[in-house]
C-alpha cells in the first residue's frame, strides 16, 4: 500500500468567545474553580444560525487551501462528530454539498471525543487506494447546543470548533504509520445523551426533561481517561515499531489539563513534549485534536521530520492513538 499522510491541515472556530467570568454570571461557578479543575479560561460558541456542517466547511476550505487542492479533488469525506446537524441524513453529506465536492462518498463516524483518531485511521486506509486518491477527514462539533446550560458540572467544559485534514500519498517512511483503536461498551452510560434515539424517543413515556442533554459521570471519566491516554500512546507506538524516546510531540484530546498532566507523567514525558490549547477553546470533543495540531504546526512545533502521536478518549467508551511521521 502507498504511504499516506496529511498533505493539508485546517481549522476553524466561531468568533464569539465566552470566558469563565461569563459563565459565572449564568451558573454558580468561578474563574478560579474552572481554571484549577480544568485549565480552561475561554471557549468559542457558535451562533444560533451556525450548524456543525458550517464549521466543518470552513475548516475543510482551510485544509484544501493548505494542500493546494480544490473540492473537486476530493474522493471521500469522513466526518467525526457527536453533535450532527440532524440525526439523519449524514452531516458529512451536508458538508459535501456545501463544500461543492462532486462525485465523492461521504459518511459520519461517531466515537464522541475519540472521533478524530478513529476517522483518521479509517481515512488513511482509503487514501491512496484505487478511486480514493484524496480523502478529507474532518472533526466538527457544536456542543453548546447539546449541553444543559444549567448543569455547572458540564456546561462550562465545552466549546465549538472544527479541524480538517486532507490525506494523500506521501514519500515512503512518512505519513500515518499506524493507529491503535479500542472501546469498552460496558461504559457507554458514562458519557451519553440519554434521550433522542430509539431507546427513549422524544416525546415518550420514558422521557423526562433534561434527558435530551449531554450527561457525564465526571469521576468515572477521570478514572478512565488517566489510564486510557497513556495506554493508547504506548499501544500505537508498539504497533508501528516505534519507541517513546523517538516521539517529538504528543497531541492529546483537549479534555482537561489535569488529565493531560497525569497522562504525561504516567508516560514519563515532560509537558514540553505535549501541546495544549484548551485554555483558549475548552473541550471541542472530536474537533480538539486537529485544531491543536494545526496550531502546533503554526507555532513551528510540527515540521518535516517530527514524529507526532495523537491520542483521544471519550464516550463509548472509546479511545485510541495515531502515529504520524511528518
pLDDT in tens, 229-273: 999 999 999 999 999 999 999 999 999 999 999 999 999 999 999
Catalytic residue among 51, 110, 253, 322: 253
Residues 145 and 217 in one domain: no
Residues 192 and 153 in one domain: no
Q: In what order do the strands lie in the sheet with 175-183?
A: 175-183, 318-325, 307-314, 249-252
Single pTM value for the model: 0.97
Q: What is the pLDDT of residue 98?
A: 98
Residues 315 and 286 in one domain: yes
Residues 34 and 163 in one domain: yes
Residues 52 and 193 in one domain: no
Q: Is 215 a catalytic residue?
A: no
**pLDDT-derived band at 9, boundaries 50, 70, 90:** very high
Taken in order 38, 40, 41, 46, is the CA torsion positive or negative? negative
Report residue 119 as a C-alpha cell: 476517522
Number of domains in the chain: 2
Q: Report which secondary-structure segment, H or E, holds 267.
A: helix 257-267
Q: What is the pLDDT of residue 102?
A: 85
Residues 11 and 157 in one domain: yes
Q: What is the pLDDT of residue 255?
A: 97
The mean per-residue pLDDT over the stretch 124-141 comes to: 97
Last residue of a domain, one of 174, 200, 225: 174
Q: What is the pLDDT of residue 2?
A: 84
53 phi/psi in degrees, rounded to 5: -65, -35
Cα separation, 108 vs 98, whole angstroms: 15
Q: Which domain holds residue 136?
A: 4-174
Catalytic residue among 20, 62, 283, 322: 283
Q: What is the pLDDT of residue 175?
A: 98
Q: Output the domain CATH number for residue 115.
A: 3.40.47.10
Give me the percent of the chain exceeding a pLDDT of 70: 100
Catalytic residue among 60, 104, 113, 155: 113
Cβ neighbours of 20 (radius 10 Å): 20
Give me the percent of the chain exceeding a pLDDT of 90: 99
Residues 106 and 193 in one domain: no
Report residue 94 as a C-alpha cell: 451536508
Q: Are 153 and 278 in contact (CB under 8 A)?
A: no
Q: What is the chain's mean pLDDT, rounded?
A: 97
Per-residue pLDDT at 1 exceeds 80: no
Q: Is 283 a catalytic residue?
A: yes
Amino acid at each position: 500500500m502507498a504511504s499516506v499522510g496529511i498533505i493539508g491541515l485546517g481549522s476553524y472556530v466561531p468568533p464569539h468567545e465566552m470566558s469563565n467570568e461569563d459563565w459565572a454570571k449564568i451558573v454558580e461557578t468561578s474563574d478560579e474553580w474552572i481554571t484549577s479543575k480544568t485549565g480552561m479560561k475561554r471557549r468559542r460558541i457558535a451562533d444560533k444560525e451556525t450548524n456543525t456542517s458550517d464549521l466543518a466547511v470552513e475548516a475543510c476550505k482551510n485544509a484544501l487551501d493548505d494542500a493546494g487542492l480544490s473540492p473537486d479533488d476530493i474522493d471521500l469525506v469522513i466526518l467525526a462528530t457527536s453533535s450532527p446537524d440532524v440525526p439523519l441524513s449524514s452531516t458529512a453529506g451536508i458538508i459535501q454539498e456545501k463544500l461543492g465536492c462532486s462525485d465523492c462518498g461521504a459518511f459520519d463516524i461517531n466515537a464522541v471525543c475519540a472521533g478524530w483518531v478513529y476517522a483518521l485511521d479509517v481515512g488513511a486506509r482509503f487514501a491512496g487506494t484505487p478511486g480514493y486518491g484524496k480523502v478529507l477527514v474532518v472533526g466538527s462539533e457544536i456542543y453548546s447546543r447539546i449541553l444543559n446550560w444549567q448543569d455547572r458540572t458540564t456546561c462550562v467544559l465545552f466549546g465549538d470548533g472544527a479541524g480538517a485534514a486532507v490525506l494523500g500519498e506521501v514519500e515512503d517512511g512518512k505519513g500515518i504509520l499506524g493507529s491503535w483503536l479500542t472501546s469498552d461498551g460496558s461504559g457507554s452510560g458514562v458519557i451519553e445523551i440519554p434521550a433522542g434515539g430509539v431507546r427513549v424517543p422524544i416525546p415518550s413515556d420514558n422521557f423526562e426533561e433534561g434527558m435530551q442533554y449531554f450527561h457525564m459521570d465526571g469521576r468515572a471519566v477521570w478514572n478512565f481517561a488517566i489510564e486510557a491516554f497513556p495506554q493508547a500512546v504506548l499501544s500505537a507506538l508498539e504497533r508501528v515499531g516505534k519507541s517513546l524516546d523517538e516521539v517529538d510531540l504528543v497531541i492529546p484530546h483537549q479534555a482537561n489539563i489535569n488529565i493531560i498532566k497525569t497522562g504525561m507523567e504516567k508516560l514519563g514525558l515532560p509537558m514540553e513534549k505535549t501541546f495544549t490549547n484548551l485554555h483558549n477553546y475548552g473541550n471541542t470533543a472530536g474537533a480538539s485534536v486537529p485544531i491543536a495540531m494545526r496550531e502546533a504546526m503554526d507555532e513551528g512545533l510540527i515540521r518535516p521530520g517530527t514524529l507526532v502521536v495523537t491520542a483521544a478518549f471519550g464516550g463509548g467508551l472509546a479511545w485510541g492513538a495515531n502515529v504520524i511521521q511528518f
